[in-house]
Structure 1
Amino acid sequence: MSETVALTPAQAWAELSAGNGRFVSGSVEHPSQGVDRRAEVSNEQHPFAVLFGCSDSRVAAEIIFDRGLGDMFVVRTAGQVVDTTVIGSIEYGLEVLGAPLVVVLGHDSCGAVAAARAALVTGEMPTGMIRAVVDRVIPSIVARVPTGAGSNGEAFDLEVPEPGELGRQHLRGTMRMLVNYSHALAKAVEEGRCAIVGAEYKLADGRIDVVEVIGDIG
């Protein structure tokens, strides 16, 4: 898929899913990584997917999806936490570069998510600007559970999920945040021009599991 081709969201996801299948089985093809491809994309880019993922060194997007130069517009932060620059970058990939798919990629055993859970359980926050990462993870991994106190049950307790569910809950929260904050992204999904796939990467076997989808990928 070296040539520039306009893909649907479903076709874009099929390309990534097939690439991950090759990576898991060890039959990688390393597409779009040759000298010709380097020259082809030297003056312009037409990625078929925007990937927003965690900065973890073990989750290198082009490798785990067996893709190459110009295929994916990648945005990464620790714990895939959202800020205005992240949203602007995703909108650039969508509106300017024309990518029909946004993938939000989390992974198991995420250090940022574990740090956020530890902060909630122990009350101890990390020092320095690492705290800024944890502060942005906490809202998406905390559930408010009614205690039944008061006539309308307006009192709440905080429930911290178990470690296995934390990453997936954070992933869903990140997807909702992107749609709520980005009018351009929400409109593109509504019009069928784009879909958002929330997926979790398994560090041990390299598999990508779909957690949630907003839009149509077939």
Structure 2
Amino acid sequence: MTTNYLSRRNLLKYSAGAIATGVVTAGVGSNLVIAEEAPAKDEITPDKALQELLDGNDRFVKRKRKNPNQSPTRLHEIAKGQKPFASILGCADSRVPSEIVFDQGLGDLFVCRIAGNIATPQQIGSLEFGSLILGSKLIMVVGHERCGAVEAAIKGGSVPGQIGKLIEAIKPNVESYKDQSGDRLEKACKANILAQIETLKSSSVLSELIKAKKLKIVGGYYDLDTGKISLVS
């Protein structure tokens, strides 16, 4: 396989146009190694990436985890470079660790976690990197049952420190659920997930990958009581 090198300066020029060339980075450093993608038959698709996540979660729920890619061999293998098949924008909640609930291992997932699973500019930039440069085929925005950040946005009121910035980012997405009957918190959590998906899709980098059918963005809702991930649409 032939390779060439991309300097940090040139990385700034490396944009959506690279999608059509079929290249992804094989490593990151002072120089970025660019390698041709594997043949299509060996390449995981966005749909296959999604199914892999759902299958892994099903194993987790049924207590049949395989704990894949967690051996010393895998550790040394990915030390040379990473190519995660999926990315997760998840809540920082300690009860929802991505690699465990999806039954994945080292180097499988590119994970960004923040309270309320909100798509900040920094999170978006990270996911752009994970998708365009590392080759991740899927982004799942994972919210969860009884999310404290979403509940605080519904209740309102003053909060100390920088917590208010998190609340303000969520509040517009859940405002309409304040006075609803039923499980308004669940509805608000799911509405927040969908809002973050739309924010991610507004990224020029991610939207180009979606158009090229190299990426899919979906939402997932985690049930704290069962461990089940349900797709949100």
Extract unaligned runs of 5+ from structure 1. Answer: 144-157, 213-218
Letter of the aligned partner of 2:171 in structure 1?
Answer: I
Alignment: residue pair count: 190
Q: What does residue 178 of structure 1 align with?
A: 200
Residue 163 of structure 2: aligned partner: 130
TM-score, normalising length from structure 2?
Answer: 0.79
Asked whether 1:188 is paired with 2:209, we answer: yes
Q: Which of 199, 210, 218 is 1:197 aligned to? A: 218
Specify the alignment match of 2:230 in structure 1: 209
**Aligned pair in 2 of structure 1 residues 15, 72: CA closer, same or farther (>3 Å)?**
same
Deviation at 1:159, TM superposition (A): 5.8
Counterparts of 1:25-64 in structure 2, within 5 Å, are 25-64=62-101
Supply the distance in 2 between the matched residues of 1:104 and 1:208 (Cα, whole angstroms).
11
| Counterpart AA for 1:53 | G
RMSD of aligned alpha carbons? 1.4
- Residue 175 of structure 2 aligns with which residue? 142
Specify the code of the residue in structure 1 equivalent to 2:188. Answer: L
- State the identity %: 36
Structure 2 residue 135 is the aligned partner of structure 1 residue 102:
no
Equivalent position of 1:71 in the other structure: 108
Residue 126 of structure 1 deviates from its aligned partner by 1.3
Q: Gapped runs of 5+ residues in structure 2?
A: 1-37
> Quick one: distance in 1 between partners of 2:58 and 2:93?
21
Which position in structure 2 is the counterpart of 1:154?
none
Quote the offset at 1:6 in angstroms: 2.2
Aligned 1:81-100 pairs, distance under 5 A = 81-100=118-137
The more displaced of 82-91 and 57-66 is 82-91
Within 2, Cα distance between the matches of 1:110 and 1:159? 15
Cα deviation, 1:36-95, whole Å, max 9, x if unaligned, reads 100110110000001110000000000000000000000000011221110100000001
4+ residue segments displaced more than 4 Å: 158-161
Matches of 2:98 and 2:89 in 1, distance apart? 9
2-structure distance, mates of 1:125, 1:59: 27
Letter in 2 for 1:211: V
Q: Normalised by the size of structure 1, how large is the TM-score? A: 0.84
Give the match for residue 216 of structure 1. Answer: none
Summarize deviations over 1:161-210 as a string: whole Å, max 9, x none.
52221100111111111112x11111111221110110100000000000
* Conservation of the 8 A alpha-carbon contact between 1:103 and 1:199: yes
Question: Residue deviations 1:93-146, cap 9 Å, x none?
Answer: 001001111110000100000000010xxxx12121110110100011124xxx
